[in-house]
Amino acid sequence: MTRWNYFKEGDIIDVVAPGYPSQPHEVEGAHAFLLKWNLQPRIPKNLIKPHFLHANEDEARFGFLKAAIESKDSRVIWCMRGGYGSNRLLPMLAKLKKPKEPKLLIGISDITSLHTFLTQEWGWSTLHAPLLDRLGRGLVSAKHEKELHNVLFGKEKSVEFKKLKPLNDQARNITLQKSKIVGGNLAVLQTTLGTPWQIEAKKSFLFLEDTGERGYRIDKMLEHMRQAGVFKQCHGLILGDFIGGNEPGSEETKHKLVFKRWAADLDIPVFQGLEAGHDVIQRPVPLNTSCVLTQKNGKVLLSIDTGGKAS
């Protein structure tokens, strides 16, 4: 585990767009948000250009990411939005030499590809936390914006989750488990299977979330993971928010039935209720840092080290 440096006012924040494009007003909102925190946003002039799928051509998106990784005057890479595109950059990213000093990557959703690469290949600690377009549009509540600020500026040394619910006996029987958190978006993690950057969950809690996926698709992705051996020696599954995915002609989903099935099928603990993902509340989840899960009198507490340090 490597530690990132706590933010200080005046720090330069490198903004990248490895996936979908953002609209000009969203970029302006992100710029204004970072200024509000007394940070210096560095948003390349040609970061976003017309493209039929992404924020820019692969080579351009990678070029901006590479520049952010290699810049000597910044320590943070914050993504504008998710969507799709980050996994196309991994073969190019794999050719880079690991920097001597780690940086902090922030983002969710499609950014899971980059989280997985940076944590597994370079040993960095990263942060699964709101994207800049969301923060710039004021879609994060004052309470949760403050929590994120406190984490990034070192006012909070850990993130605590108190609403986890055990879904099987293996989870109910845990009293203490020291581990780390890996994972992110389920659909993105499925795309890592069979690649050099396949998600590695041994001796870790695997955190999963997603949006717009029907029950059968979630089940299919979990089965693919099982057949790929992802759950072997995994300390357990921790399910975040799964939103959308209603069955055709219905306002209901089959998510509950799917997770009940997997909790019964797997011989590892399965918990539900992490407040992270694509829903309204998107609490920060530090990845590849130490964590402790305790359970007493039916109450579960997951405490995750933020991974930060004073510079």
**Please, what is the Cα angle at 255 between 251 and 259, to 5 degrees?**
165
Query: Which one from 109, 113, 179, 204 is the annotated catalytic residue?
Result: 109
- Distance, in Å, from the CA atom of 287 to the CA atom of 127, rounded to the nearest integer, reads 6
CB atoms within 10 A of CB 183: 26
Per-residue model confidence (pLDDT) at position 311:
85
Active site (annotated) includes residue 247: no
- Distance, in Å, from the CA atom of 260 to the CA atom of 227, rounded to the nearest integer, reads 19
Across the chain, where does the E strand assignment appear?
A: 4-5, 12-16, 40-42, 74-79, 104-107, 126-128, 158-161, 165-166, 176-185, 205-211, 236-243, 270-272, 285-287, 290-296, 299-305, 308-309
What are the φ/ψ torsions at residue 209 (nearest 5 degrees)?
A: -155, 165
Q: Domain segments of the chain: what residues?
A: 4-152, 158-309
Active site (annotated) includes residue 109: yes
Contacts 24+ apart (CB under 8 A), 145-150: 147/283, 147/284, 148/284, 149/37
**Closest among 206, 36, 27 to 131, alpha carbons compared:** 27
Supply the CATH classification number for the domain 158-309: 3.50.30.60
Number of alpha helices (DSSP H) and beta strands (DSSP E) in the chain: 10, 16
- Distance, in Å, from the CA atom of 75 to the CA atom of 11, rounded to the nearest integer, reads 8
Which residues, at least 6 apart from 171, have a Cβ–Cβ distance to it below 8 Å? 236, 263, 269, 270, 271
By residue count, the chain amounts to: 311
pTM (global) more than 0.95: yes
User: One digit per residue, pLDDT tens: the chain, 311 residues?
Assistant: 799 999 999 999 999 999 999 999 999 999 999 999 999 999 999 999 999 999 999 999 999 999 999 999 999 999 999 999 999 999 999 999 999 999 999 999 999 999 999 999 999 999 999 999 999 999 999 999 999 999 999 999 999 999 999 999 999 999 999 999 999 999 999 999 999 999 999 999 999 999 999 999 999 999 999 999 999 999 999 999 999 999 999 999 999 999 999 999 999 999 999 999 999 999 999 999 999 999 999 899 999 999 999 98
Tell me 309's DSSP state.
Answer: E
**Please, what is the Cα angle at 149 between 139 and 180, to 5 degrees?**
100
Helix, strand and coil content of the chain, in percent to the nearest 5, comes to 30, 25, 45
Active site (annotated) includes residue 209: yes
Ramachandran category for residue 288: left, alpha or beta (phi over 0 → left; psi -120 to 50 → alpha): left
Supply the CATH classification number for the domain 4-152: 3.40.50.10740
Q: Which two tokens stand for residue 132?
A: 């800049």
Query: Which one from 209, 213, 235, 255 is the annotated catalytic residue?
Result: 209
Per-residue model confidence (pLDDT) at position 13:
98
What 3-state DSSP class applies to 233? Answer: coil
Q: Do domains 4-152 and 158-309 have the same CATH topology?
A: no
**Residue 74 · residue 13 · CB < 8 Å:** yes
